C-alpha cells in the first residue's frame, strides 16, 4: 500500500507504507440449505470480504438450447407477421445470429454477516437465461 504526496510541480511521490495480502477462496456448495452455515464458518475463520456468490446450474446447455429454439420460433413468427403486414412473403433465411446473456453474480459483504448470530439465510431461487436471436430473411 502506498501513500501518495502531491508535489509542487503537479507530480506525485509514492511512499510504500504497508503490504496487503488477499486470499481468495472458491467453494462449490451443492446443498443450498448448508450455504448459510458455510458462510458463517468462513467469517469465523477470518474471511472479511466476500463476493462473487453465484447460483448456477451444473450444465445449462439443454436449457439454453431450448431457449434458442424458442427464440428462433418467436423470430420466425414475428417475421411472418411483419411480412404479411407489408404485403410481402418471406424467402429463405440468409443469416442467424444469437447472443447468450448471463446476469452477473451479486456480490455479498461478509462483514454484514458478523452482526447476525444465526446462520446467514440463503434461499434457492431460479436461474434465468436470455438468448437473443437475430434472423435475416430474403423477401419475395
pLDDT tens-place string over residues 67-115: 999 999 999 999 999 999 999 999 999 999 998 776 554 444 444 444 4
What cell was used for 105?
453474480
What pLDDT was estimated at residue 133? 94
What pLDDT was estimated at residue 111? 47
Q: Would you call 68 helix, strand, or coil by DSSP? A: helix
Tell me the backbone φ, ψ of residue 137, rounded to 5 degrees: -110, 155
Listed in sequence order, the residues at least 6 apart from 79 whose beta carbon sits closer than 8 Å to its beta carbon are 90, 135, 137
- For the chain, the domains span 2-139
Which pTM does this prediction carry? 0.53
Residue with cell 511512499: 15
Radius of gyration of the chain (CA): 26
What pLDDT was estimated at residue 102? 62
What pLDDT was estimated at residue 46? 78
Contact 126, 79 (CB under 8 A): no
The candidate with the shortest Cα–Cα distance to 76, out of 138, 135, 140, 132, is 135
- Asked whether the predicted pLDDT for residue 12 surpasses 80, the reply is yes
- Asked whether the predicted pLDDT for residue 31 surpasses 90, the reply is no
Amino acid at each position: 500500500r502506498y501513500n501518495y504526496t502531491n508535489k509542487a510541480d503537479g507530480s506525485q511521490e509514492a511512499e510504500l507504507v504497508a503490504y496487503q495480502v488477499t486470499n481468495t477462496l472458491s467453494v462449490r456448495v451443492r446443498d443450498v440449505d448448508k450455504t448459510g452455515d458455510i458462510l458463517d464458518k468462513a467469517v469465523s475463520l477470518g474471511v472479511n470480504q466476500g463476493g462473487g456468490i453465484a447460483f448456477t446450474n451444473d450444465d445449462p446447455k439443454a436449457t439454453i438450447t431450448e431457449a434458442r429454439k424458442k427464440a428462433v420460433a418467436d423470430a420466425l413468427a414475428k417475421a411472418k407477421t411483419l411480412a404479411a403486414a407489408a404485403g410481402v412473403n418471406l424467402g429463405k433465411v440468409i443469416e442467424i445470429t444469437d447472443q447468450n446473456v448471463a446476469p452477473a453474480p451479486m456480490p455479498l459483504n461478509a462483514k454484514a454477516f458478523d452482526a447476525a448470530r444465526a446462520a446467514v439465510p440463503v434461499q434457492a431461487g431460479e436461474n434465468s437465461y436470455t438468448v437473443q436471436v437475430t434472423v435475416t430473411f430474403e423477401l419475395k
